[in-house]
Structure 1
Amino acid sequence: MSDLEDRLARALTDYPIEPSPDLFERVVEGIAADRVRRRSIRRWSLVAVLFVVLAVTAVLTQTPRVNGALAMPWWILEVATNLVLVAIALWLGPFIKRFGRAYAADVFHDNPLTGKSYIVLTDIVYYLIFTAYILFSIKVAPNPEWSLLREPVETVTAGQVTYELSRIGGILLIIGILHGLNIVLMPMLGRLFSLNRRLPDPGSRDRATGA
């Protein structure tokens, strides 16, 4: 048998010929879990919409007016931006994970458990980055630079709006860059793990040769 035929034979024997006996049960459980997940998403989405509507209504009714125009206190926009960042984190994380499972399963097809652990670890890193970014960029007092007139900031200004928009854009840029690097590096890691698994054990080789 040639080297190519030997390699093909080893590659084909790595995959089971008979299907898994619990395949049907796992498919049914997966469908049921997907239905539960969809119902949970719809329920929480409805709660989030109602919360936003109530919050906006409360802000508009309690916000004072200066010369007939709304003068929103600066901290309301700060709190609203933090809520938007948290909502993006809670929505974007499961969204990336949902479409990344198939990619990770294909990359780590020789090491399924490693692929699952990799997904869990990337989730932890994702939420740590979001939490750190929010804590680093949050403001507990108005920034004097938000006012062009160098007066004490009590209401929302154009400078604060620009700052809050840059916070949202900044976290999206960071997650986008890290996610792109993850897509590029994941196949390399999968290849390394696959090669490491296929390397023969030196101890077993010594025992086979009788050394």
Structure 2
Amino acid sequence: MSDLEQRLAGALRLSVEDLDESSDLFARVELSIDDDRRVRHQHRALIGVATCIIGAIVSVTIAVTDVHEGELLMDWWILELITTAVLVGVAFWLGPLIKRFGRSYAADVFRANPRTGKSFIMLTDVAYYLIFFSYILFTVTFAPRDGWQDAVNAAQLQHETGRVAGILLIIGVLHSANLLALPVMGRLLTLNRRLDDASPVQDRD
């Protein structure tokens, strides 16, 4: 064995001797496996739900679409109802989905004030849903717009596509703002709590 190999072997032996055995290593490995299994189950459930929703939309579209002289015809109000249902589904499905993956982030931000963090998240959820449904009500159409026809045409398709894109943009902007605001809120609450804890000590002095 060369001198270099002996030095490497000695260094590895010392590093092994310095390691402390972890009594909860097996439990942590089990928790990691359970978390991985739960994440895979959630992904499969999300894929299943998305597949069912897409299948339902396609089935309804096929059922209410007529074929006339080789062209697909659909009444304008049917597409309006389908788009509104899609918007409501996105609001109810995508919001909780983002919240589920952001719980650990919010818990880390509000670790010093867990009750305040829960209240803040609940209030923001209420605000989000109010914004979502306000957007849906503002954009719903009860009579054909200018350029529309009794059957669906390109102008209406462009309008409905813009509605879906709009709610996705609103969700993205709101959650991006929330990601930026949460650390600031958590920091301010932590500082206020430290000041409140320090005030009685200063008063005694």
Give the TM-score normalised by structure 1. Answer: 0.69
Return the offset for 1:110. 0.7
CA apart distance, 1:125: 1.3
Alpha-carbon distance change, 46 to 176 in structure 1, aligned in 2, over 3 angstroms: closer
In the alignment, which of 122, 134, 137 is matched to residue 135 of structure 1?
A: 137
Aligned length: 175
Structure 2 residue identity aligned to 1:136? F
Residue number in structure 2 paired with 1:84: 86
Aligned residue runs from structure 1 range 1-211, under 5 A: 48-49=53-54, 51-60=56-65, 63=66, 65=68, 67-143=69-145, 145-147=146-148, 153-200=149-196, 204-205=200-201, 208-209=204-205
Please say if residues 101 and 119 of structure 1, whose CA atoms lie closer than 8 Å, have aligned partners that are also in contact.
Answer: no
Change (3 A) 1:117 1:40: farther
More contact order relative to length (CA 8 Å, sep ≥ 6): 2
What do you get for the CA RMSD once the two structures are aligned? 3.0
Determine the C-alpha separation between the residues in 2 that align with 1:106 and 1:202: 23
Query: What CA distance in whole angstroms lies between the structure 1 residues aligned with 2:40 and 2:84?
Result: 30
Aligned AA for 1:188?
V
Deviates more, 1:175-184 or 1:44-53: 44-53
1:203 CA drift (Å): 7.1
1:162-198 CA distance string (max 9 Å, x none): 1111111111112212221111111111100000111
- Alpha-carbon spacing, 1:47–1:176, altered in 2? closer, same or farther (3 Å): closer
The residue type paired with residue 57 of structure 1 is I
Name the SS for the 2:159 alignment partner: helix
1:92, CA displacement in angstroms? 0.9
Partners of 2:187 and 2:144 in 1: how far apart?
A: 50
Per-residue CA distance 1:27-70 (angstroms, 9 max, x = gap): 8xx98x9899789767755653553344123213xx252x3312
The structural deviation recorded for 1:205 is 4.0
Bigger radius of gyration among the two: 2
1:63-112 alpha-carbon deviations (Å, 9 max, x no partner):
252x3312211111111111111121122111110111111111111111
The question of whether the paired residues in 2 share the 8 Å contact of 1:74 and 1:154 is answered with yes
Distance 1:203 1:160, change over 3 A: same
For 1:146, the aligned partner's letter is: G
